[in-house]
Structures are given as C-alpha cells and as structure tokens.
Amino acid sequence: MRKIIIAFVMTFSAIMAFEVPGMMGRPMDNPKMESYRIYQMTEYLSLTPQQAAIFFPMQKSFLDSQKALYERYKNICDQWFDENKSNITDAAAKGLLSKWTEFETLRIRQRETFVNSLFGILDAEQIARYMFFEEHFRKHLRHELEQKRENRQQRRMK
C-alpha cells in the first residue's frame, strides 16, 4: 500500500514540481524539497491512494490561490513603500495596517474554506493533522538537519 502511495506521490510531484507553491503561498524553489514535503504529508496524514488523488489537486488549487493573494499583497506593499519611503505618516501607516488586515482576513478565509472542503475526503483526524502539518514538517526538517550536523562533526573528530 505504501509503495502505491509513494509511487503516486512521486509521479504527482514530478508533474507539479515547478509550479507548486510552498508554505503559506510562497513559491517552493526546490522541486526535491517539494517532493519530499508531499511524501511527508502523505505519510503524516496516512492518505490512501484514492484520498491522495483527490486531495493533492485540491491542495494545489488552494496553494495557487494563496500564492496569488500573497503576490497581490506583496505588490501593494512594494507600491506603498515606494510611495511612502521618505515620509511615513500615521495615516499612511494606518492605511497599510488596513491593507494588511484585509490580506490576513482573506488568507484565513481561503484556508478555512479549503479545510472545510476536505470533510468527506479526509477523516477528522487527517484534517486535524493537516492543519498542523507545516509545523510538524518544519520540526522534522530541523531534526534531520541537526542529525546531519552531528554526523558531520562526529566524522570530523575521527
């Protein structure tokens, strides 16, 4: 069963590798890292091949919308700072705060809509695990990097 899931994930990630945005809607520059992230998500959520076939295209669409929202916000911020870089007034700062609040509200609404759309595809435990996957993945990567550093240090000492 895991071999089927791994084969599906690797095939799917190879197709999406250059387009899939990463965490929080920012581009994932490293296709290998994105493939690894998808593999880890498949394992962490215990996705069946049927669930994975439905979930990952939905997630790609969600991440694309998050990326578009992030790019729009980034453009607004860049423009704002270009216009206000020498003289930031209270009114200008409040205007930026308003735009930031709007961005965060839209981002959260999109995420909420996406997670709600997972009911019926994933079970409740998988959905709960999905909501905390990014933190789990970061901890996992941090742990792996620490282990690699320790191994290098041990090899150098020999």
pLDDT computed for residue 123 by the predictor: 96
Percent of the chain scoring above 90 in pLDDT: 45
pLDDT computed for residue 114 by the predictor: 96
pLDDT computed for residue 29 by the predictor: 66
The beta-carbon contacts of 48-54 under 8 Å, at least 24 apart in sequence, are: 48/1, 48/5, 49/1, 49/4, 49/5, 49/8, 51/121, 51/122, 51/126, 52/5, 52/8, 52/9, 52/12, 53/8, 54/121
Query: How much is the pTM?
Result: 0.68
Mean pLDDT, all residues of the chain: 81
Q: Which residue would you say has higher pLDDT here, 42 or 18?
A: 42
Give the start-to-end residue ranges of the domains of the chain.
2-157
pLDDT computed for residue 100 by the predictor: 86
